[in-house]
Amino acid sequence: MKRILTYGTFDLLHYGHIEILRRAKALGDYLIVAVSTDEFNAIKGKKAYHNYETRKKMLEAVRYVDLVIPENNWEQKKNDVTEYKVDTVVMGSDWEGNKNFESLKEICEVVYLPRTEGISTTKIKNDLNLQEPINGLNQIPNN
Protein backbone atom coordinates (compact mmCIF):
# COMPACT_ATOMS: atom_id res chain seq x y z
CA MET A 1 0.00 0.00 0.00
CA LYS A 2 1.66 3.16 -1.26
CA ARG A 3 0.72 6.16 0.93
CA ILE A 4 0.62 9.67 -0.49
CA LEU A 5 0.45 12.97 1.42
CA THR A 6 -0.31 16.47 0.18
CA TYR A 7 -0.82 19.85 1.86
CA GLY A 8 -2.95 22.86 1.12
CA THR A 9 -5.64 25.36 2.03
CA PHE A 10 -8.11 24.04 -0.57
CA ASP A 11 -10.42 27.04 -0.22
CA LEU A 12 -13.38 27.35 -2.63
CA LEU A 13 -12.52 23.85 -3.87
CA HIS A 14 -12.00 24.05 -7.62
CA TYR A 15 -10.86 22.03 -10.63
CA GLY A 16 -7.19 22.73 -10.01
CA HIS A 17 -7.50 21.24 -6.52
CA ILE A 18 -9.37 18.21 -7.83
CA GLU A 19 -6.70 17.68 -10.49
CA ILE A 20 -3.83 17.63 -7.99
CA LEU A 21 -5.80 15.26 -5.75
CA ARG A 22 -6.63 12.98 -8.70
CA ARG A 23 -3.01 12.85 -9.91
CA ALA A 24 -1.63 12.44 -6.36
CA LYS A 25 -3.94 9.47 -5.74
CA ALA A 26 -2.91 7.96 -9.07
CA LEU A 27 0.65 7.71 -7.70
CA GLY A 28 -0.40 5.36 -4.90
CA ASP A 29 -3.20 3.64 -3.03
CA TYR A 30 -4.04 5.91 -0.10
CA LEU A 31 -4.17 9.72 -0.14
CA ILE A 32 -3.87 11.83 2.99
CA VAL A 33 -4.62 15.55 2.70
CA ALA A 34 -3.30 17.90 5.38
CA VAL A 35 -5.56 20.94 5.17
CA SER A 36 -4.40 24.23 6.64
CA THR A 37 -6.21 25.31 9.80
CA ASP A 38 -7.57 28.86 9.95
CA GLU A 39 -4.79 29.73 12.38
CA PHE A 40 -2.09 28.37 10.04
CA ASN A 41 -3.65 30.23 7.13
CA ALA A 42 -3.18 33.42 9.13
CA ILE A 43 0.51 32.51 9.44
CA LYS A 44 0.58 31.92 5.66
CA GLY A 45 -1.07 35.31 5.20
CA LYS A 46 -4.21 33.73 3.77
CA LYS A 47 -7.83 34.26 4.87
CA ALA A 48 -9.99 31.44 3.55
CA TYR A 49 -13.60 32.02 2.56
CA HIS A 50 -14.58 28.67 4.17
CA ASN A 51 -13.39 27.81 7.65
CA TYR A 52 -11.32 24.72 8.44
CA GLU A 53 -14.28 22.43 9.27
CA THR A 54 -16.03 23.27 5.99
CA ARG A 55 -12.86 22.83 3.92
CA LYS A 56 -12.25 19.49 5.67
CA LYS A 57 -15.80 18.26 4.95
CA MET A 58 -15.51 19.23 1.28
CA LEU A 59 -12.21 17.38 0.90
CA GLU A 60 -13.64 14.29 2.64
CA ALA A 61 -16.32 14.22 -0.07
CA VAL A 62 -13.72 13.93 -2.86
CA ARG A 63 -13.42 10.36 -4.16
CA TYR A 64 -9.59 10.50 -4.31
CA VAL A 65 -9.18 11.48 -0.65
CA ASP A 66 -8.87 8.79 2.04
CA LEU A 67 -8.02 10.88 5.11
CA VAL A 68 -7.99 14.58 5.98
CA ILE A 69 -5.76 15.84 8.81
CA PRO A 70 -5.03 19.39 10.03
CA GLU A 71 -1.97 21.32 8.92
CA ASN A 72 -1.19 23.48 11.95
CA ASN A 73 2.33 24.69 11.14
CA TRP A 74 5.31 24.39 8.77
CA GLU A 75 7.26 22.17 11.17
CA GLN A 76 4.93 19.17 11.36
CA LYS A 77 5.72 17.71 7.93
CA LYS A 78 8.56 15.33 8.89
CA ASN A 79 6.45 14.05 11.78
CA ASP A 80 3.45 13.62 9.46
CA VAL A 81 5.54 11.54 7.04
CA THR A 82 6.75 9.32 9.89
CA GLU A 83 3.45 9.07 11.78
CA TYR A 84 1.38 8.26 8.69
CA LYS A 85 4.06 6.08 7.06
CA VAL A 86 4.03 8.23 3.95
CA ASP A 87 5.92 7.05 0.85
CA THR A 88 5.45 10.15 -1.30
CA VAL A 89 4.63 13.81 -0.67
CA VAL A 90 2.99 15.48 -3.66
CA MET A 91 2.70 19.23 -4.21
CA GLY A 92 1.93 21.53 -7.09
CA SER A 93 4.86 22.93 -9.06
CA ASP A 94 4.56 26.34 -7.41
CA TRP A 95 6.14 24.66 -4.36
CA GLU A 96 9.06 23.15 -6.27
CA GLY A 97 12.32 23.83 -4.44
CA ASN A 98 10.64 25.07 -1.26
CA LYS A 99 12.73 24.07 1.75
CA ASN A 100 9.67 22.79 3.64
CA PHE A 101 9.37 20.06 1.01
CA GLU A 102 12.95 19.66 -0.20
CA SER A 103 13.93 18.73 3.37
CA LEU A 104 11.48 15.80 3.24
CA LYS A 105 13.59 14.13 0.52
CA GLU A 106 15.72 12.70 3.34
CA ILE A 107 12.80 10.51 4.47
CA CYS A 108 10.41 10.12 1.54
CA GLU A 109 9.88 10.76 -2.16
CA VAL A 110 8.79 14.31 -3.04
CA VAL A 111 6.91 14.86 -6.32
CA TYR A 112 5.89 18.23 -7.77
CA LEU A 113 3.12 18.13 -10.34
CA PRO A 114 2.34 20.90 -12.84
CA ARG A 115 -0.28 23.33 -11.59
CA THR A 116 -3.56 23.40 -13.48
CA GLU A 117 -3.44 26.59 -15.52
CA GLY A 118 -6.19 29.21 -15.54
CA ILE A 119 -7.77 28.54 -12.15
CA SER A 120 -7.05 29.59 -8.58
CA THR A 121 -9.02 30.62 -5.54
CA THR A 122 -7.78 34.19 -5.99
CA LYS A 123 -8.94 34.19 -9.62
CA ILE A 124 -12.39 32.96 -8.60
CA LYS A 125 -12.70 35.73 -6.01
CA ASN A 126 -11.50 38.39 -8.46
CA ASP A 127 -13.70 37.11 -11.27
CA LEU A 128 -16.73 37.10 -9.01
CA ASN A 129 -15.59 40.40 -7.51
CA LEU A 130 -16.41 39.03 -4.07
CA GLN A 131 -16.70 41.52 -1.26
CA GLU A 132 -15.27 40.53 2.12
CA PRO A 133 -17.97 38.33 3.78
CA ILE A 134 -19.79 40.32 6.49
CA ASN A 135 -19.83 37.50 9.03
CA GLY A 136 -16.19 36.59 8.68
CA LEU A 137 -15.40 32.94 7.88
CA ASN A 138 -18.30 31.35 6.02
CA GLN A 139 -19.40 27.82 6.77
CA ILE A 140 -21.98 25.24 5.78
CA PRO A 141 -24.68 25.24 8.49
CA ASN A 142 -24.15 22.19 10.71
CA ASN A 143 -27.65 20.86 10.10
* Residues near ligand C2G, by CB under 6 A: 7-10, 16-17, 20, 36, 71, 91-92, 94-95, 115-116, 119-120
For residue 45, the minimal CB distance to ligand C2G (Å) is: 10
Shortest reach from residue 38's CB to ligand C2G, in Å:
13
The active-site residue out of 46, 47, 57, 125 is: 46
Catalytic residue, from 2, 25, 44, 78: name it: 44
CB of 4 or CB of 71, closer to ligand C2G: 71
Is there a catalytic annotation at residue 46? yes
User: Is residue 57 annotated as a catalytic residue, yes or no?
Assistant: no
Task: Encode 106-138: b = buried (16+ Cβ within 10 Å), e = exposed.
Answer: eebebbbbebbeebbbeeeeeeeeeeeeeeebe
Nearer to ligand C2G by Cβ, of 28 and 92: the residue is 92
